[in-house]
Structure 1
Amino acid sequence: MTLRRLLLPLLALTLLVAACEPTTATAISAQGLQRQSDGWHGVPLEVEREMPDVTLLDTDGNEVNLREATAGTPTLLFFGYTSCPDICPVHLAVLAGGMRETRTTTEQVQVVFVSVDPERDTPARIDEYLASFDSRFLGLHAELPVVEDALRQLDLPGPVVEGPDPRGEGDLIGHPAQIVGFDADGEARRVWPFGARRSDWVFDLPRIVEQWSAAQDEAAEDAA
C-alpha cells in the first residue's frame, strides 16, 4: 500500500484505514501530527460517536462489555493485530512511551487493544504482545462479526486481508490505523492517526486527564 493511501482521510470522521506493510513505518512515524487550532495534536471529530456497545472477551476469558467497562474513565481504543509489522507496534510503542513520560496511569486513561485477527491472536499471544509495550493495556478479542460490529458503530471499515506477509507470517490485514479517544462519558472526541509521535502524546495526555475525566465533568456540573 502506498504512503498516499496510508494517509488518505475518510471524509466523515477524519479516520484512516491502512494495511500493515513492512516498509512504511519509519517514514510516516517521523512526521508527527500537526498542532490543531485549539492546541491539541489529536484530530477532533466532527460527527458524534459513542463507545461501541459490544461484548468481547479479555485474555482470561471473561466477558467484557466495552461500553460498560470503559464508563467513567477516558479511554484510548485501538483495533489491530499482533502480527502487524509496523503500524500497530509503532502506535502502541509511542503511546506507551508518552504515558511513561507523563506518568499517566491506566486508572487515569484506559488503553484498549481489540484484535482484528481472531484466528492468530490467542489470549496468550495478546498478553505477550501487550506486555512488550505496557502490561496494563487491556487486550480484548472476539469472533470477527463482533469486532466488525464494533467498527461499524464507529463508522470504521472492517478488517481486510491484503495478501501474504513477505515475512512468511500469514496474511497482512488492513485495519483502521488510528487510535480513537473517548471521554469519561463514552463520547468519541478525537483520533490520533498513524504518525503520532511520543511528543504528541506527551502534549495531549495531560489534557485528556484534565478535560475528559469524570472528576472534571462533576466539577463542571457543580460550577453550573
Structure 2
Amino acid sequence: MKHTFLTAGLVALLAACQPSAQFLNKDITGSGLKTETPLTAADGENFQLNQASPQVTAVFFGFTQCPDVCPTTMGQMKLVMDELGADADKLRVVFVSVDPERDTREILKQYTSTFNPKFIGASTDLANTQKLARDYQITFEKVGTGPNYMVNHTANSYLIDRAGKTRVSIPYNTDAKTIAHDIKQLLK
C-alpha cells in the first residue's frame, strides 16, 4: 500500500514538472470552443474540425470574395508553413467558408490552392454554417444584395491540437513567427 502511494506521488510530481505550453497568442484551452458540425472539403472528403488528427489544425472562417482580411490571413498561413520548415507537414490549414451560397467546392479548391495546394477549403450548408458559428462564437452577416454582396465576419484564426481541442485564438494580422511559435508548442 505504501509503495502505491509513493508511486502515485512520483507520477504526480513528474506531471507537475512537465512544462505547460507557453503561447504568445491567447490561450483558450478552457473555452470549450468545439463543434461536431460536419464539413465537406473541396476534394469531397467529409471531416470535423475537432476530431483527433495527426496534425495541428489552424482554422479560419472567411469567404473567397473577401477583399482584404481573408487573403491576408491565408497569406500569413503560407508564411507560417515556411516558418515551420520541416514541421510544416504537421500543420493542417483549414479555410471554412461563411458564404456557402457562392463558395462551391471548386471555388474553394482554387482559392486555397492559390496560397498552398495542401490548404483545405471546406464548407457546409447555411444552417450548419450558422451552427458552426455559434459553436465557435464567431459572427458573420451578409451585407448588401445582388451578386456582389459582402460578408462581415470574425477575423480570428484558431489552433486545434492533435487531440481535437481548441487551444489558441490568433488575432487578425498576427505575424507568421508568432503563429509558428504557438504551433510548435502544440507539437511538443
TM-score range normalised by the length of the shorter chain:
0.7 to 0.9
CA contact (8 A) 1:80 1:115 kept: yes
Any idea what SS the aligned residue of 1:135 has? Answer: coil
CA distance in 2, matches of 1:207, 1:66: 18
Any idea what SS the aligned residue of 1:119 has? Answer: coil
CA distance in 2, matches of 1:140, 1:170: 21
Which of the residues 62, 72, 84 maps onto 1:102? 84
CA distance in 2, matches of 1:74, 1:63: 18
1:42 aligns with 2:20: no
* Matching residue of 1:56: 39
Superposition deviation, residue 203 in structure 1: 3.5
CA distance in 1, matches of 2:153, 2:87: 27
Superposition deviation, residue 105 in structure 1: 5.0
Any idea what SS the aligned residue of 1:130 has? Answer: helix
Correspondences of 1:128-143 after superposition (within 5 Å): 128-143=110-125
1:205 aligns with 2:187: no
Question: 1:177-218 CA deviation, whole Å, 9 max, x = no partner?
Answer: 110111112222211111212xxx224414423x313xx4xx
CA contact (8 A) 2:55 2:162 kept: yes
TM-score norm. by structure 2 comes to: 0.78
CA distance in 2, matches of 1:169, 1:93: 25
CA distance in 1, matches of 2:170, 2:103: 24
CA distance in 2, matches of 1:88, 1:48: 24
Amino acid at match of 1:100: D
Superposition deviation, residue 127 in structure 1: 0.9
Correspondences of 1:11-30 after superposition (within 5 Å): none
Amino acid at match of 2:24: H
> Larger C-alpha radius of gyration, 1 or 2?
2
CA distance in 1, matches of 2:73, 2:147: 20
Any idea what SS the aligned residue of 1:98 has? Answer: helix
CA contact (8 A) 2:29 2:168 kept: no
Change (3 A) 1:161 1:50: closer
CA distance in 1, matches of 2:155, 2:86: 23
Which of the residues 113, 120, 124 maps onto 2:102? 120
CA distance in 2, matches of 1:73, 1:163: 38
Identity of aligned residues (%): 26
* Matching residue of 1:161: 142
1:179 aligns with 2:157: yes
CA contact (8 A) 1:83 1:169 kept: no
CA distance in 1, matches of 2:100, 2:147: 15
Higher helix residue share: 2
TM-score norm. by structure 1 comes to: 0.67
CA distance in 2, matches of 1:67, 1:44: 17
1:191 aligns with 2:169: yes
Change (3 A) 1:127 1:212: same
Change (3 A) 1:54 1:106: farther
What runs of 5+ residues in structure 2 fail to find an aligned partner? Answer: 1-20
Question: 1:4-34 CA deviation, whole Å, 9 max, x = no partner?
Answer: xxxxxxxxxxxxxxxxxxxxxxxxxxxxxxx
Q: Report how many aligned residue pairs link the two structures.
A: 168
CA distance in 2, matches of 1:160, 1:145: 13
* Matching residue of 2:49: 66
What runs of 5+ residues in structure 1 fail to find an aligned partner? Answer: 1-37, 217-224
Superposition deviation, residue 152 in structure 1: 1.2
